[in-house]
Structure 1
Amino acid sequence: MRREVMIIAVLVSLAVVVGAVGWSGQVSLLPAATLFPLLWALSSTRIAAAVVAAGYFLAASRGLPSGVAQFFAADLWVGLSFWVAAASSFVAVHAVFWTARSGLVKAVRYLLILALTGLPPLGITGWAHPLTAAGILFPGWGWWGLLALTAVLIGLASRIGPAIAIALSGLWLWSAASGTNQILPVGWRGVDLEMGASLGRDSSLQRQRNLIALVQEVAGSGAAVVVLPESALGFWTPTLERLWREGLQGVSVTVVAGAAVINANGYDNVMVAIDGGGGRVLYRERMPVPVSMWRPWERWIGETGGARASLFANPVVEVAGRKIAPLICYEQLVLWPILQSMLHRPDAIVLIGNGWWTTGGNIVAIQRASAKAWSALFGVPLEISFNT
């Protein structure tokens, strides 16, 4: 009994290390997450598998408690409650599909786990997915790279898992030596802002005029498309559209920026495209942040106010002559939005976010690392714009 407890303690400790290192925000360290399936497979009981999964997920999402507390201006216990709740589906799936049987049975079950934690509905909170590391281990392989890593992860859950882990470590060292550089789309410029919580909440015309002046300055340096963060424009209205249209008259530039569009039941978190000829809603977010933005239960009880999830709508959109895969903030933490977009072979990935509430944490760094990994996997240029 004592020996079994010690083995579980070692596996949980290793899971915590793997989660913390893999999801540190350093793109080269993402492959550490791929070692988790081996630890899960080595668990001797269902309870042990659940605890190992909890250790990995909680370590990977360790920035959530303080971030939630900042967002809601609440005590840390509120963030801790969200942290535990977010881990529940991940832990439950790994516990339910654990089996004492080894070999093919366990490998097939882990394949089911990969699918369930990557796709809706459970994939809605499917953070820290090991497949995110595919672009670091198999850069440029595209879908073949995703399949290759899937096979590796399944193999880690089989009898030959330790041998595969050794080979995987060698591949990881080779990828780290090769490095991963962000591929930038020519003529596009993502602008990072440091406006904190005021971005999107300061509705003054002066704030918008300042942003227009910033865009004019960036366009003057040769950018044909300027990308601004999530919520940069606040609420998108005809008055705001006219202000930007007039401000961009005579400037050869297209602006892609985050905004919100009010509707009867709440609002849509969107990207808009603006130039001297006017503006339009370019993209409606498929997966807003659960609870803080997306609250589907409100309709059941007759309340309104939350963000609408467009789910599988508009996976790619066209702007400035390019087909782009648009991702707003939370969508970069889960698996399925980027994979759905990649099915349509976009010319570029455009990621915007508003991470003021993550101050002191690593969530924005994780989003950037994940985006670079997907860009590297499919060889698709990437542009990022964040507010902190």
Structure 2
Amino acid sequence: MRRDHLEPTLLIIAAIVAGTIGWSGHVVLLPAALAFPILWARAQMRSVAGLVSAGYFLAASRGLPQGVATFYSSDLWPGLLLWLCASASFVGVHAMLWTSRAAGRPFRYLVAAALMAVPPFGVTGWAHPVTAAGVLFAGWGWWGLAAMTAGLMGLVTRIGPAVAVAVAFVGFWVWSAANWTDPKLPEGWRGVDLQMGSSLGRDPSMQRHRDLIATVKDRGAGGISNVVLPESAFGFWTPTVERLWVRSLQGTHISVVAGAAVVDAGGYDNVLVVLSAGGSRILYRERMPVPGSMWQPWQSWLGEAGGARAHLFANPTAPIGDHRVVPLICYEQLIVWPILQSMLHDPDFVVAIGNGWWTQGTSIVAIQRASTIAWAKLFAKPLVLSFNT
């Protein structure tokens, strides 16, 4: 292989390895993603920077084609198309902002990182290296985020300072891995993981609801007063479903937080509902549903109804009793701005739910969990997780 081809090839291979390891679903491996800005900065041409970005992003999101094929009961082609389209914004932003001038790289990378953290580019801003702040700087909060941001800028400077920053990051990484503990549960709360596959939310029978009610009552024993069920657990939220659950909880002290869909003529909201023997209310409306399969903004552009609504910056926290919680539904756990917007309000803890039946055979749910755990650790917040697979 010619020498002028060897270095770009090695950079691309290293980016693929960084994306694969960093986003393997193991939270303590998230800092491996920090190799990406180093490799991006070492590229000698804009085209190579674009290929490095593509290698990293496609490796990090490698479970998408298979997941989409499972969701739609089709072959891999729709998933491959979505996979490539989703990478376009990440690759485009990083290729456009790359520069050969070492002095200009820190600011350029800062702009790229910021663009991939907020809409519109942040809508597909998966695999953001800043997520590793929760591993390196657990408990530091906003100071940890600032330290990570400064460190990312340092990684793309001249080789000397970049090596110094990398060595410092490795030291923090080793210390954190040696002392790692997962976020604690809030007192009196329990998240329930289910293995109901694609039937959850699609089986509207009374027997399914009675089975879930029995599960809630069983998990609500022993001083547990709040039980969290996964996304879509209630299915379509109707007065009939509400009455069944409220009546079934009579005589108990249990509150249930679970996912549901509220449908109207214009589309639907993916929501969290909280209910108890005293009644129910909608706790949260999802800020960012899954683009394409759920959120379809082109429907309104064409004058048609349908799809999930995106409440981009609405309801960053929600009140439950005397607490304010951060609700995160499924896709919101993979992107940056929902959790950071919520943390501006200094919530008490995080409640994260998902319905990942379609991800079987991939690491998508594990990545969702790892990302959410990292953000909870960064801000030292208790965490409740509940997933269906």
Counterpart residue identity of residue 236, structure 1 = W
The residue aligned with 2:26 is: 26
Residues 137 and 172 of structure 2 are in contact (CA less than 8 Å); yes or no, is this contact kept in structure 1? Answer: no
Whole-Å separation in 2 of the counterparts to 1:355 and 1:35: 29
The residue aligned with 1:360 is: 361
Residue 123 (1) aligns with residue 101 (2): no
The residue aligned with 1:156 is: 155
Counterpart residue identity of residue 302, structure 1 = G
Whole-Å separation in 2 of the counterparts to 1:368 and 1:79: 22
Whole-Å separation in 1 of the counterparts to 2:217 and 2:384: 19
Whole-Å separation in 2 of the counterparts to 1:162 and 1:4: 24
Counterpart secondary structure, 1:295: coil
Among all aligned residue pairs of Structure 1 and Structure 2, give the percentage whose two residues are the same amino acid: 61
Residues 87-108 of structure 1: CA distance to partner in whole angstroms, max 9, x if unpaired? 11000000000011112x1100
Residues 286 and 312 of structure 1 are in contact (CA less than 8 Å); yes or no, is this contact kept in structure 2? Answer: yes
The residue aligned with 1:261 is: 262
The residue aligned with 2:294 is: 293
Instruction: Give the 5 Å matches for 1:1-388.
Output: 2-103=2-103, 105-159=104-158, 160-388=161-389
What is the CA-CA distance between 1:157 and the residue it aligns to?
Answer: 0.8
Counterpart residue identity of residue 217, structure 2 = Q
Residues 236-268 of structure 1: CA distance to partner in whole angstroms, max 9, x if unpaired? 011111111100001101100000001221100
What is the CA-CA distance between 1:200 and the residue it aligns to?
Answer: 0.2
Whole-Å separation in 2 of the counterparts to 1:138 and 1:166: 15
Counterpart residue identity of residue 70, structure 1 = T
Which structure 1 segments of 5+ residues have no match?
none
Counterpart residue identity of residue 126, structure 1 = G
Residues 11 and 43 of structure 2 are in contact (CA less than 8 Å); yes or no, is this contact kept in structure 1? Answer: yes
Whole-Å separation in 2 of the counterparts to 1:113 and 1:277: 48
Residues 68 and 358 of structure 2 are in contact (CA less than 8 Å); yes or no, is this contact kept in structure 1? Answer: yes
Number of equivalenced pairs? 387
Residues 27 and 370 of structure 2 are in contact (CA less than 8 Å); yes or no, is this contact kept in structure 1? Answer: yes
Cα root mean square deviation, aligned: 1.0
What is the CA-CA distance between 1:181 and the residue it aligns to?
Answer: 1.6
Residues 183 and 380 of structure 2 are in contact (CA less than 8 Å); yes or no, is this contact kept in structure 1? Answer: no
Counterpart secondary structure, 2:351: strand
Counterpart secondary structure, 2:345: coil
Residues 102-150 of structure 1: CA distance to partner in whole angstroms, max 9, x if unpaired? 12x1100000001000110000000000110101100110000000000
Whole-Å separation in 1 of the counterparts to 2:6 and 2:34: 23
Counterpart secondary structure, 2:123: helix
Counterpart secondary structure, 2:259: strand
Whole-Å separation in 2 of the counterparts to 1:370 and 1:75: 29
Residues 64 and 83 of structure 1 are in contact (CA less than 8 Å); yes or no, is this contact kept in structure 2? Answer: yes
Whole-Å separation in 2 of the counterparts to 1:212 and 1:180: 32
What is the CA-CA distance between 1:170 and the residue it aligns to?
Answer: 2.2
What is the CA-CA distance between 1:175 and the residue it aligns to?
Answer: 1.4
Counterpart secondary structure, 1:139: coil
Whole-Å separation in 2 of the counterparts to 1:358 and 1:51: 27
Residues 319-367 of structure 1: CA distance to partner in whole angstroms, max 9, x if unpaired? 1321000000000000000000000011010000000000000000001
Residues 225 and 320 of structure 1 are in contact (CA less than 8 Å); yes or no, is this contact kept in structure 2? Answer: no
Counterpart residue identity of residue 76, structure 1 = L
After TM superposition, the runs of 4+ consecutive aligned structure 1 residues lying more than 4 A away are none
Whole-Å separation in 1 of the counterparts to 2:369 and 2:377: 12
Residues 136 and 180 of structure 1 are in contact (CA less than 8 Å); yes or no, is this contact kept in structure 2? Answer: no
Counterpart residue identity of residue 61, structure 1 = S
What is the CA-CA distance between 1:77 and the residue it aligns to?
Answer: 1.3
Counterpart residue identity of residue 19, structure 2 = G
Which structure 2 segments of 5+ residues have no match?
none
What is the CA-CA distance between 1:73 and the residue it aligns to?
Answer: 1.1
Is the deviation greater in 313-322 or in 147-156?
Answer: 313-322
What is the CA-CA distance between 1:306 and the residue it aligns to?
Answer: 0.3
Whole-Å separation in 2 of the counterparts to 1:39 and 1:154: 13
Residues 45-100 of structure 1: CA distance to partner in whole angstroms, max 9, x if unpaired? 00000000000000100111100111111111111111111111000000000011
Counterpart secondary structure, 1:286: coil
What is the CA-CA distance between 1:380 and the residue it aligns to?
Answer: 0.5
Whole-Å separation in 2 of the counterparts to 1:334 and 1:374: 11
Whole-Å separation in 1 of the counterparts to 2:387 and 2:179: 27
Whole-Å separation in 1 of the counterparts to 2:214 and 2:382: 27
Residues 23 and 30 of structure 2 are in contact (CA less than 8 Å); yes or no, is this contact kept in structure 1? Answer: yes
